[in-house]
Chain A
Amino acid sequence: MAINVQGLTAHACRDLLASREVSSTELTQAYLDRIDEVDGRIQAYLLVDREGALEAAAAVDAKAPDQRKPWEGVPIALKDVLCTKGLETTCASRILKGYVPPYDATVVAKLRQAGLVFLGKLNMDEFAMGSSTENSAYQVTRNPWDCDRVPGGSSGGSAACVAASEAPWALGTDTGGSIRQPASFCGVTGLKPTYGAVSRYGLIAFASSLDQIGPLTRNTKDAAALLDLIAGRDPLDSTSTGLNEPAGIPTRGDLEGLRFGVVSELTGEACDPGVREVFQSAVDAIESVGGVCEPVSLPSVERGVAAYYLIAPSEASSNLARFDGVRYGHRSKHAEDLYEMYIHTRSEGFGAEVKRRIMIGTYALSAGYYDAYYAQAQRTRTLIIKDFEEVFRRFDYVISPTAPSVAFKIGEKVSDPLAMYLNDLCTIPVSLAALPGISIPAGFSAGMPVGLQIVGPHFSEHGILNAAHAVEQRLALDLVPPLEEVCG
């Protein structure tokens, strides 16, 4: 049977396999064919593991279906920041070129155990530092809704891959918005779980107090299913706690009795007019199914970007100290002694943005500046947490646009780091407070997708997904990009 994978959800894949109409090998081959057809234009994949994927699919086909493993044989793709045993993992950096992890990240092990088929590894901003995926050392990923535009970042490969149906779903990671912002730019659903819901073991660290792994999918049902597959406490990550209750399958169709705070600081002048218009239509949709929306002020969120660009680079400067050319990855050939080897290895191996953040972090943590910068940023973080706590006494969820603009043109912001950072205005405060946040497509502005961000208290994933599901059902958007027209 010929399979058209365009627009196919993971749930639809599962149903096809369960009906025995299609084998996992046929389904996997259909996705590999799709990748062959479109990835030359989209450039979402850094590595396509044809052999491994077909082998895993054949193994599923060769045995009797396992009732405890409903997702067996369904393909998935992974952001290249996740360690995959025996499969090159580069973080889109030259410094990790050729690195083949000897172990699986916990999320990868869980998906392997559940029988999923890995199609390959997805492009990203180097070490997840960026908002456009232009900081990849290897290639520029394109937005499937307009190939002259960025897919967002840092999980731009994951978002573009799902939007272009090069995989039914994908894993990304989010430190300050790296799942939600690309989801918004590419018209897909992206969920950043509560900090601790998902183990970070085998996720190559950027900022350890913020990093979380989460799903990028075509709808809220797939996001919930994928979250439940990867969530859980892990002895290998002592900061992991798992979820209090499973996400379940969202079914909610109305929002009766729920109160949504509309964050004033993130919805006014901060956003482009086109984004504001689509956001207002999402507010109308929420109200039309019974939700109550009221403006709420969260003054501290305006300091979020400043606090984040001290905290995240500080943690990064420490985490990236491990890339020294001794144990893995690139080692410079132009060094007489050990000290020179460190310096040349790192200077040759890291890209400009990574170096910039290491410099900011090192400066902020250096003697004499620690209190003025890092400690002050951490106090600001406390302030943001308290502001959210206050708001959640009066509201069930807070909402805003996911990003202040639609996807921008490739090259538009590469020479202005600060302009790039401000793109994460709406998502960063949520990360600093360790809250769960989802971005779902809310509509289009001049043909480009606009995302709605729904944020809830810690461990409210079940609720967020159900609320998002109700909005998704009400909006009923067509989310298959006309690739032939826009990327011909």
Chain B
Amino acid sequence: MISREEVEHVARLARLHFDDEELVRLQPELSGILDYVQQLSELDLSGLEPTSYAVALKNVLRADVPWEGLTNEEAMSNAPDDERGQFAVPRIG
């Protein structure tokens, strides 16, 4: 069973916040899922390489040719807040 402290620690890593009510629900849910996936630890998989991509690809190269990207206006068009063509954010810490 994953502890409440662990849930809060992982939430901080993931930049999420849960209130007390959510934590009460989340803790057993996450524990249930982690208990289920725990079955993999019973398998003897020594000698097997981990697969990150299932279709083998060699280095994919292309010529370094410039092309038209987004304009500054297009790139900024969804900005929640901007200043002089740049993304604006609240003060840091």
Contacts and interface: CB of A to CB of B under 8 A. Distances in A.
Question: Do A and B actually bind?
Answer: yes
Interface of A: 98-100, 102-103, 194-196, 209, 235, 238-239, 241, 303, 305-307, 309-310, 317, 321, 324-331, 335-344, 346-347, 350, 355-356, 358-360, 362-363, 366, 372-373, 375-383, 385-386, 417-418, 421, 432-434, 458
Contacts of A303: 39-40, 43
Given A102-B75, A331-B80, A239 B53 contact: yes
A355 B10 contact: no
Nearest to A383: B48
Contact of B33 (A331, A344, A417, A433): A417
B34 A359 contact: no
Given A337-B92, A355-B16, A356-B30, A432 B79 contact: no
A304 B30 CA distance: 19
Given A209-B54, A327-B78, A379-B50, A418 B40 contact: no
7 contacts: A239-B53, A328-B80, A343-B16, A347-B17, A359-B26, A376-B41, A434-B53
Name the 4 nearest CB pairs between A and B, nearest first. Answer: A378-B50, A434-B54, A328-B78, A331-B80
Interface residues of B, number: 49
Interface in B1-34: 2, 6-7, 10-11, 13-18, 26, 29-30, 32-34
A102 B34 CA distance: 39
A335 B70 contact: no
Contacts of B62: 235
A417 B35 CA distance: 13
B16 A356 contact: no
A195 B54 contact: yes
A356 B29 contact: yes
Interface in B49-93: 49-55, 57, 60, 62, 70, 74-75, 77-81, 87, 89-93
Q: Is the interface of B mostly helix, strand, loop or mixed?
A: loop
A487 B32 CA distance: 36
Given A359-B26, A380-B43, 16 more contacts: A307-B40, A328-B80, A335-B90, A336-B91, A337-B90, A338-B89, A340-B90, A346-B16, A350-B16, A358-B14, A366-B13, A377-B40, A383-B45, A417-B32, A433-B54, A458-B55
Nearest to B80: A331
Contacts of A241: 55, 57
A372 B34 CA distance: 11
A360 B33 contact: yes
Contacts of B78: 98-100, 102, 327-329
A342 B32 CA distance: 28
A102 B50 CA distance: 37
Contacts of B15: 321, 324, 342-343, 346
Interface of B: 2, 6-7, 10-11, 13-18, 26, 29-30, 32-34, 36-37, 39-41, 43, 45, 48-55, 57, 60, 62, 70, 74-75, 77-81, 87, 89-93
Nearest to A306: B37
Contacts of A382: 45, 48-51
A85 to B, nearest CB: 10
Contacts of B93: 337-339
Given A337-B90, A347-B16, A356-B30, A379 B81 contact: no
Given A196-B55, A359-B7, A383-B45, A338 B92 contact: yes
A327 B26 CA distance: 29
B17 A363 contact: no
B14 A338 contact: no
A205 B34 CA distance: 24
A385 B51 contact: yes
A366 B10 CA distance: 8
A74 B31 CA distance: 49
A202 B2 CA distance: 36
Contacts of B39: 303, 306
Contacts of B54: 195, 209, 381, 385, 432-434
Nearest to A302: B39
Nearest to A376: B40
- Residue among B62, B77, B81, B90 with most chain A CB within 10 A: B90
Contact of A209 (B6, B52, B60, B90): B52
B36 A309 contact: yes
Contacts of B7: 359
Contact of B11 (A329, A336, A340, A359): A359
